[in-house]
Structure 1
Amino acid sequence: MKEYRPQEIEPKWQKVWEEKKVFETPQYSEKPKYYTLIMFPYPSGTLHVGHVKNYTIGDIVARYKRMQGYNVLHPFGYDAFGLPAENAAIAHKIHPKKWTMDNINTIRGQIKKMGISYDWNREVITCNEDYYKWTQWIFLKLYEAGLAYKKPGAVNWCPSCQTVLANEQVKDGKCERCGTTVTMKHLEQWYFKITDYAEKLLEGLDRLPGWPEHVKTMQRNWIGKSTGAEVDFPVEGLDKKIRIFTTRPDTIYGVTFMAIAPESPLVLELVTDEKRKEVEEFLAKVAHEDRFKRTSLEAKKEGVFLGRYAINPLTGERIPIYVANYILYEYGTGAIMAVPAHDKRDFDFAKAYGLPIKQVIKPKEGDWNIEEAPYEDEGIMINSGPFNGLDSKKGIEEVTKYIEEKGFGKRSVQYKLRDWLISRQRYWGAPIPIIYCDKCGIVPVPEKDLPVKLPENVEFLPTGQSPLTLSEEFKHTTCPKCGGPARREVETMDTFVDSSWYFLRYVNPKLEDKPFDTNDVNYWLPVDQYIGGVEHAVLHLLYSRFITKVLHDLGYVGFDEPFQNLFTQGMIYKDGWKMSKSKGNVVSPDDMIEKYGADTLRMYILFMAPPEKDAEWSDAGIEGVNRFVKRLWNNYYKMLDIINSQDAEESEFGKEERALRRKLHAMIKKIKEDIEGGFKFNTAIAGLMEFNNQLSDYLETAQNPNKKLLREIAEKIALIISPFAPHMAEEMWHDLGKETLIVEERWPDYDEEALKEEEITIAVQVNGKVRGRITVPADSSEDQIKEKAVENVKKLVEGKQIVNIFYVPGKLVNIVVK
């Protein structure tokens, strides 16, 4: 019998697929289209098995859909710009491009060994000029539309990485990449006006039923829509007003102080000379604190009086103005009206500084001691002038209406979402295509001059400035408007800009005169199935949706959501930890392929847990799957020996053959339902294992195995395992005598007739207790089944009166006696 040798089989079929270009996708086809995509990786080094999990999931989908008759687009590429390459340049004196391309070559080889069915002809690498030229083009389109702008402001600064971080890249007050505590810094930066699309981004989530609900909830929470009112509080003695946003206008009569965020320019505008030194010392102290922790509910509330007062527009009362550490500049207006009787953080601050606590909402029933804790629920308005006695929900509407009538403020919708900060003080990124001219000001680089190329010769120093600052050749240029001397922007774009549109470039990866062809992307997109980690639920997915909506509104694409369906896979852990080189718990796919073969690795990755769940790697687990793969192989070639034997039977099926054929078609049906019903690959493989055991029993016990049945089983098994173990399936298909490639064959249908049971077993109860079982022909009538049931328990019912007989079709008969 033929021995299973994956190290010979797998390279053989990978070579055939490549030579025959079976995975190269025609741009158009009579077949229906299907675009399946995994989130492309950052090429930071070699892959481990945790990385290849989502590639394997995506490959099952691509191969299955191809076998169902779809024109499948299944491309791959690399998110190739980024900080690790620059850090490697500093640490190892190697150019970021060489470091990146070396890693890409390694990863590409690892993925090909896995037998993933990518169309390598469409490969995209974001650090190549033919890609980032169009990233710069997208920047220019946003700039022309008023959606890209530069402004000074407080930004998140990582002292270790020496760069600015977007809010989304700060986790629990620390840099998500290196774990260093983030500080604040004031810089002029470039932003994309994603806030203009806040409502469209929210509304679009309601049109994505194929997304996991928890991912949509994460995006809704990040966007953070709040409905309320903006109210102006005049500053006493100055021609200035403090504008606040509140969702509770019904509590304005309870304001006892104002609080401003430390990062707000208002602080230094309002502070009196007497208080300036104390305030500046407080600002310096807060600047080095974790601003995400300091604004948490549990953090100590601290602040300084600015020496000035605001006027409550509804009561005329003087209200002291403080700078306070618990106010976040990014939310609302960066200033609040503080109502300590009805807000926990305001309450804690008021207690700390001896400020008044004025109750203006009382519970609808019972009393509340406002000195012990704030009352934050709805209730009845009190101490609120003409609004006393109103239900607070009604009060919100009435007070808002009054504020608008008097010109104190207006209704407003606010979002927690802030504009997307895209400037990065580093080299290894797409240069921002902007020129500064003393005469003309800010001048966008003309489209004909794209790409603005990264210079090769730069010095990498951890100074906190972009290395491009030190490149005189890059920095100095000519103004496109006046022809005079000018300076290039020396900062580069956030790499999330690169990944916000790559799924469009896959459609036309070699197009030279535009980033993509509108007709082509309108044919292929939205992506039918997107697969990737839930850790990208806010950053990458939100940005991609934003850029797609902008391109739609500008007329470049005919759709406004990029991903129709989203699947978020779980991680693979080892020894209780996420795999990482630093923990020494990495499992290399190369090692597993060398030992077991790619098909075993693919099968184990899919079998170890439901694909959306995290899973613990087990050496014993992959050993077990490898034993199954070998048993399946051995059974297959036992069947081929019988099929090719001159002595084997071709007779009609007996009872045993009909039962095995029924199990075969039940398995085909189940695996189809498992794949289409939520990527239940683990249960699909379990079904295959179960059938293989039944096949083993038949091959061992059947005196004259039926050649006709075994030929059907051999053909169907090869087809079914093709998405899961493609190399093994090709070898089996070839040895079965087929001249085609199995990857180009159709997925097998199951036979409804074969699924019908010939006999069914029914439990027989007497007064509700099981007393026996009967086996009857599946087409027996109810009367026949009842009659046989009574016969089965004849001794138990003799001499008793049968009151009734109940029949649950296909399951049980209950005989009631007394």
Structure 2
Amino acid sequence: RADTLFGVSYLAIAPDHWLVNADHLPAEHANHVLKRAQEMLSGSSGGGDRSQRTKDGVFTGLYVAHPLDSARRVPVYVADYVLSDYGTGAVMGVPAHDVRDHEFCQINSVPVHISVVEPETSEFAEESKSELPVFTGQGVLRRIPENGIYGGMRSADARTTIVAAAAAIGSGKSVVNYRLRDWLLSRQRFWGAPVPIIHCASCGAVPVPESDLPVELPKNIELSGRGGSPLARATEWLNCKCPSCSGPATRDTDTLDTFVDSSWYFLRYTDAHNTQRPFDAMAASSMMPVDIYIGGVEHAILHLLYSRFISKFLWKTRAYGTAAVEHDSTVRSEVKEAIARRETRGARNGEPFTRLLTQGMVHGLTYKDPSSGRFLRSDEVQTEKGNVPRVIRTGETPTMSFEKMSKSKYNGVDPGATVDAYGADATRLHVLYLAPPQDVLEWDTQSIVGMQRWILRLGRLVDTACASSARESIVCALNTRNKWSKEARETYRHTHVAIQHATESLEASFSLNTAISALIKLSNYLATVKDCEHPTFGFGLVCLVKMVAPMAPSIGEELWEILIQSKCLHNLGLVDTPNSRVFAQSWPVLDASALKDVSATVVVQINGKVRFKLEDMVPDQ
């Protein structure tokens, strides 16, 4: 952070930095520094305790000039936490604004300079004390001589100004450091794609010829789980000829990490049966990028990084994408245009995923003994409805919290038992309704009964519709919409409000809980409708069943079949296809004009005083 540049107390370099050399170190420091640096590299410093090693350091006797104040000398330390293969192998130490740097200074007796403070914070002392808190946020540069003309600037403004000043005098510039490092993808196990390399005593490592790819795993191999890779014992598979000199050679016995395959399998899905190539350029180009990537947050760093890296490499080498098909005369121009339009969703740079959704964990109710902290099994706790839980052995109230489900915490829930007790649809609705998919879900089995009751209410609404004698189709009824009663217009409005919310929840925000909430509101309103003979009631119910079906497929299909058998749908003209399955029907289409309120309250005033209020119908456009 450039805004903390004037708070630099030291510069830390890696133990194997090029400056850690007898030719560069002062003679009086060289032997001690080289010895300590070697201890850091061998892992012997800090007694093997990594938490201490990361703060270990030694003064080199060297100083560097501050980039914006050449008169100011900054001491150089060798620090165990600095890596030579990341960035330049040297980092500035700002102990007042970085926790790790502050700990380093405490251990190595380095002074601390406070440069940035919170906007409302008063002046601190010139030199900070070890007990002062470390401020790591965005703030304001202190008005002190060390900060020069930048005193009083906010962090964001100071960063830009300081970098520009350093660039103007040639002492610095703005750069981007990437965290991408080497990826060790070889594994010493049988399961995985064999590394396509042949080792020859004369030629060294030789790639397997393309005509011999892919290298397949041997069959009937003995897997013992001991003694390294099992492929090393498959002598018939292992021994081969060198593709270069035809001399005796051996295959590489390592296999690729399965992460390699899972980092591009979505491309294979576009052309899964191709026996000649990983995928056809046209097939992949017409379908990529992926609409949505759904995975646990633990994959949001490594797997997502690898997938993007491989996808961008394949896109840049024209394995797929607009550039891969633009000169192909067999591809029609309108298809090329469609591919180009679709590719804009990936920003035309090979991004494989349009959207990322990381789902949250399901947490279970956990009981702990308040005295020992031991996790308690459910049979060790007395839980009666309406009463505070008690530890059976001691009578004490247990410590309760929601935590990630695990066997050791005795807070797991058997999905099969839950489905058997409450039904698959009620369980599914309960899971979707408790929390948005990206949030932690705190499991509460007792509240599933609420979804069971809602399913029963849906059944009663369908029975009401089947018992009605409505004959007019909703299409015909819309022609006389200006003659509808207030209730009919309100029913039609409520239906389309639910369509709008459910559609947005499923297509845009993926907040499935709000989709269910919208459907519950619609069902509650339909239960209050008095004129069930009007087509708007049947229309609202049909839309409700269609929208419930994706989240409760069994009950959705059952309710749809009941409506089909009763001829209710045919009478209302609401069947899209002769196929009776609800999933063969189209999703309800939003009528935006129906979303406005059907009535308005008119306040009547005489001489500035409210005399009475009127509720009047709002006319259609």
The interval holding the TM-score normalised by the smaller chain is: 0.5 to 0.7
Paired-residue identity, %: 37
**Which residue identity is paired with 2:15?**
A
Task: Tell me by how many angstroms 1:523 deviates.
Answer: 0.9
Corresponding residue for residue 328 of structure 1: 83
Q: Distance in 2 between matches of 1:733 and 1:523?
A: 36
3-state secondary structure, aligned to 1:774: strand
Gaps of 5+ in 1: 1-225, 229-246, 385-390, 404-409, 781-818
Change in Cα spacing, 1:446 to 1:715, as seen in structure 2 (3 Å) is: same
Hey, what's the Cα distance between the residues in 1 that align with 2:11 and 2:524?
A: 76
Q: For 1:667-678, what aligned pairs fall within 5 Å after superposition? A: 667-678=498-509
Distance in 1 separating the partners of 2:293 and 2:610 = 51
> 1:325 deviation in Å?
2.0
Query: 1:397 is matched with which residue: 167, 182, 192?
Result: 167
Indicate whether 1:567 and 2:337 are aligned: no
Seen in structure 2, the aligned counterparts of structure 1 residues 268 and 710 have a Cα distance that, compared at 3 Å, is same
> What is the alpha-carbon distance in structure 2 between the residues aligned to residue 359 and residue 756 of structure 1?
61
Matched, 1:618 2:408: no
* Deviations 1:362-415 (CA, angstroms, capped at 9, x unpaired): 99x99973585899969999899xxxxxx96565225535x9xxxxxx986533
1:418 aligns with 2:181: yes
| Alpha-carbon distance in 2 for matches of 1:691, 1:339 | 58
The correspondence of residues 769-788 of structure 1 with structure 2, limited to 5 A, is 773-779=613-619
Q: Name the SS of the counterpart of 1:568 in structure 2.
A: strand
Return closer, same or farther for 1:486/1:313 CA change in 2, 3 Å cut-off. Answer: farther
How many angstroms does 1:532 deviate by? 2.6
Q: Measure how far apart 1:626 and its partner are.
A: 1.5
* Map of 1:601 onto structure 2: 427
Q: Is the CA contact 1:432–1:492 (under 8 Å) kept in the aligned structure 2?
A: yes
CA shift digits 1:578-607 (9 cap, x unpaired): 233443433344333333333323322221
Are residue 284 (structure 1) and residue 43 (structure 2) matched?
A: yes
The amino acid across from 1:611 in the alignment is: P
**2:392 equivalent in structure 1:** none
Give the deviation of 1:509 after TM superposition. 1.6
Correspondences of 1:504-653 after superposition (within 5 Å): 504-558=267-321, 560-575=350-365, 576-643=402-469
CA contact (8 A) 1:360 1:382 kept: no
Change (3 A) 1:370 1:547: same
Aligned residue type for 2:425: D
Give the letter for the 1:746 counterpart.
Answer: S
In structure 2, do the counterparts of structure 1 residues 265 and 584 end up closer, same or farther at CA, with 3 Å as the change threshold?
Answer: farther
Summarize the Cα distance change of 1:493–1:334 in structure 2 as closer, same or farther, 3 Å threshold. farther
Residue 731 and residue 458 in structure 1: after superposition, are their counterparts in 2 closer, same or farther (change >3 A)? same
| 1:748 aligns with one of 571, 584, 588 | 588
Give the counterpart letter for 2:555 in structure 1.
M
The 5 A counterparts of 1:89-488 are 259-261=13-15, 280-282=38-40, 283-286=42-45, 289=48, 291=50, 293=51, 301-304=55-58, 323-335=78-90, 352=107, 369-370=126-127, 393=163, 395-400=165-170, 413-455=176-218, 456-461=220-225, 465-488=228-251
Flag the 1:729–1:459 CA change in 2: closer, same or farther, 3 A: closer
CA RMSD for the aligned pairs?
A: 4.8
CA distance in 2, matches of 1:276, 1:675: 62
User: Could you tell me how far 1:664 is from its partner in structure 2?
Assistant: 2.9
**Greater mean alpha carbon deviation, residues 541-550 or residues 709-718:** 709-718
Alpha carbons of 1:482 and 1:285: their partners in 2 closer, same or farther (altered >3 Å)? same
Query: What code does the residue aligned with 2:296 have?
Result: G
Distance verdict in 2 for CA 1:342–1:381, change over 3 Å? farther
SS at match of 1:623: helix
2-structure distance, mates of 1:342, 1:607: 43
**Residue in 2 that maps onto 1:40:** none
Once the two structures are superposed, what CA deviation does each residue of 1:264-305 show, in whole Å capped at 9, x if it has no partner? 7986998977877665555332498565x457xxx6x32357
Residue identity opposite 1:749 in structure 2: V
Is the CA contact 1:762–1:774 (under 8 Å) kept in the aligned structure 2?
Answer: yes
> Are 2:516 and 1:685 aligned?
yes
CA contact (8 A) 1:381 1:392 kept: no
Residue 633 of structure 1: CA displacement? Answer: 1.8
Distance 1:261 1:624, change over 3 A: farther
Q: Is the 8 A contact 1:360 1:383 kept in 2?
A: no
Q: Distance in 2 between matches of 1:755 and 1:599?
A: 30
CA contact (8 A) 1:468 1:475 kept: yes
Query: 3-state DSSP class of the match of 1:421?
Result: coil
Alignment match, 1:722: 549
Question: Residues of 1 paired with 2:593 and 2:165: CA distance?
Answer: 68
For the residue of structure 1 that corresponds to 2:509, the secondary structure is coil
Does the alignment pair 1:735 with 2:562? yes
Helix, strand or coil for the counterpart of 2:260?
helix
SS in structure 1 opposite 2:192? Answer: coil
**Whole-Å Cα distance in 1 between the matches of residues 508 and 470 of structure 2?**
38
Residues 656, 518 of structure 1: alpha-carbon distance in 2 compared, 3 angstrom cutoff: same
- Which letter maps to 2:276? D
Within a 5 Å distance, the mapping from 1:782-801 to structure 2 comes to none
Give the C-alpha shift of residue 526 in structure 1.
0.8
What amino acid does structure 2 have at the position aligned with 1:534? V
TM superposition shift of 1:419: 2.7
Of 653-662 and 664-673, more deviation after overlay is shown by 653-662
Residue of structure 1 equivalent to 2:389:
none
Contact 1:569 1:613 in 2 (8 A): yes
The one-letter amino acid paired with 2:582 is I
Letter of the aligned partner of 1:561 in structure 2? E
Per-residue deviation, 1:638: 3.3
The alpha-carbon distance between structure 1 residues 320 and 431, as it changes in their structure 2 partners (threshold 3 A), is farther
